[in-house]
Amino acid sequence: DEIVGTFRRWLGWGSAARLVLPGWVARFLYRLGDLAAVLGWRPPMRTNAAREITRGAVGDPSNWTSLTGIHPQSLAQFLALNPATVQEKWFAGLYFAKPAIFVVLPFFWIMTGIVSLTTGYGNGIGLMQSTGAGMLSAPAVIAGALADVVVGALIAWRPTARKGVYAGIALSLFYLIVGTFLRPDLWNEPLGPFLKVLPIIVLHFVALAILEER
């Protein structure tokens, strides 16, 4: 609590709400972090971090101080000498948005593909037939669904995430351009099926901007 409060004051923010999680919830979240690590990501919230938090900061700087004559600064003193910039504030604000983005994007693409192959298959065929696709309707729906699943899997796997995000942008633009040519009336739909593609593309660019970890 003290460390979080120190950093928030450094960033110019107010106090954060304090939420104490039951042990089983915390263990579940740590396991989710372990799962993300299996996919190549580097989340700080893993079971190894839990062990370190339990062990605590046990280092003793007295020997180092006696040899060097240097007294370590406190965290507050160090931060006071290094005022927070807009970069730190952006990073802190995006810190929890990053895992949300890289969970939502794979979920979006993979579930879109699954729905297209299962419960939404009939609707997809009907939509394609309305464009005059005829015999190509079923292959087009299946190909699009498989492409969606592949994009989602690429984004979920950290080593291929960048390629997956670029593929998601390209596929979204392809759907938008081809869809505009075949069914321009969908731009005028109340639920905005084409208009919603625009913020989806922007979210992919945000994902690219915050993908790097080092």
pTM of the model: 0.86
Please give the share of the chain, as a percent, with pLDDT higher than 90.
Answer: 68
Q: What is the pLDDT of residues 90-125, one digit of tens each?
A: 999 898 899 999 999 999 999 999 999 999 999 999
Judge whether residue 132 has pLDDT over 90.
no
Q: Which of 36-45, 56-65, 195-204 has the highest mean pLDDT?
A: 195-204
Average pLDDT in the chain: 92
Which residue, among 142, 147, 206, has the nearest Cα to 172 in the 3D structure? 147
What is the rounded radius of gyration, in angstroms, for the C-alpha atoms of the chain? 24
At residue 54, the pLDDT reads 83
175, 199 Cβ separation under 8 angstroms: no
At residue 74, the pLDDT reads 87
Is the model more confident about 133 or about 7? 7
Q: What is the pLDDT of residues 158-209, one digit of tens each?
A: 999 999 999 999 999 999 999 999 999 989 988 888 999 999 999 999 999 9
Judge whether residue 57 has pLDDT over 80.
no
Judge whether residue 151 has pLDDT over 80.
yes
How far from 153 is each of 39, 147, 158, 173, 193, CA to CA, in Å?
Answer: 10, 10, 10, 19, 23
Angle ∠(204,206,212) on CA atoms, nearest 5: 105
Q: What are phi and psi of 133, to 5 degrees?
A: -70, -25
Which residue, among 159, 172, 46, has the nearest Cα to 105 in the 3D structure? 172
The rounded distance, in Å, linking the Cα atoms of 65 and 126 is 76
Query: Residue with structure tokens 């180092």?
Result: 64
Assign 44 to helix, strand or coil.
Answer: coil
At residue 133, the pLDDT reads 83
Q: How many angstroms separate the first and last alpha carbons of the chain?
A: 26
Residue 44 banded pLDDT, cuts 50, 70, 90:
confident
